[in-house]
């Protein structure tokens, strides 16, 4: 019998992606202090890829401790531009400031996933998408934030590419699933090898 899969995330979109792919799983949200972990890693000079991977691992490990018989999937996504990491905005003003900094810039969106089993990591992957933001007007930016604040407040950088946020961009390179926050194709490959899903 295959091990149950537990998603250590409260992300609706990650859960929707797994369901749409026909994967059975449970959900147990990992409660970790992401800000302090991120700040500590950045103080040590960790690159964005390592920050995303470490945050995903913290979440998987925490939930794995309570579910020793399960495969526990931890995920995290970070946005990097010119050596700086961007987080979910805490206010419309912060979203505006972030998006003005990102305007007309090249960004890297990194989506990390780590699976723990029995308190140990057994699989990990970090997907990278490269994006070029348009030189949009401040008038459009203000209208965009006013229309979309309740949605964009839960997204790193202050945009969701699956919604109106796509209008902020001139080009996007990378997996659609990486952009949504889950390297799904790579994950499905691992789950098939482990016998969690049929191949």
Report, as residue numbers or ranges, the catalytic residues: 76
Q: What are φ and ψ of residue 13, in 5° steps?
A: -70, -35
Torsion angle defined by CA atoms of residues 123, 128, 16 and 149, in that order, rounded to the nearest 10 degrees: 140
d(CA 173, CA 179) in angstroms, rounded, equals 9
Residue 179, SS3 per DSSP: helix
Report CA 12 to chain centroid distance, whole Å: 12
- Residue 106 CB neighbour total at 10 angstroms: 14
CB-neighbour burial class of residue 185 (10 A; exposed 0-12, middle 13-18, buried 19+): middle
d(CA 98, CA 87) in angstroms, rounded, equals 9
Report CA 2 to chain centroid distance, whole Å: 26
């Amino acid at each position: 019998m295959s091990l149950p899969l537990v998603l250590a995330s409260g992300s609706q979109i990650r859960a929707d992606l797994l369901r749409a792919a026909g994967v059975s799983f449970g959900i147990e949200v990992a409660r970790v202090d992401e800000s302090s972990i991120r700040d500590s890693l950045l103080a040590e000079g960790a690159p964005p890829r390592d920050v995303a991977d470490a945050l995903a691992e913290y979440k998987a490990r925490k939930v794995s401790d309570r579910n020793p018989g399960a495969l526990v999937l931890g995920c995290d996504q970070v946005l990097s531009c010119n050596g700086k990491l961007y987080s979910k905005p805490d206010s419309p003003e912060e979203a505006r400031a972030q998006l003005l900094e990102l305007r007309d810039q090249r960004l890297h969106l990194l989506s990390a996933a780590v699976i723990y089993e029995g308190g140990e990591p057994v699989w990990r992957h970090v997907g990278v998408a490269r994006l070029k933001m348009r030189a949009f007007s401040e008038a459009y930016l203000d209208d965009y934030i006013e229309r979309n604040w309740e949605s964009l407040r839960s997204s790193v950088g202050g945009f969701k590419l699956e919604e109106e946020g796509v209008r902020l961009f001139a080009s996007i390179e990378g997996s659609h699933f990486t952009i949504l926050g889950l390297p799904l194709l790579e994950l499905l490959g691992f789950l098939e090898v482990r016998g969690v899903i049929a191949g």
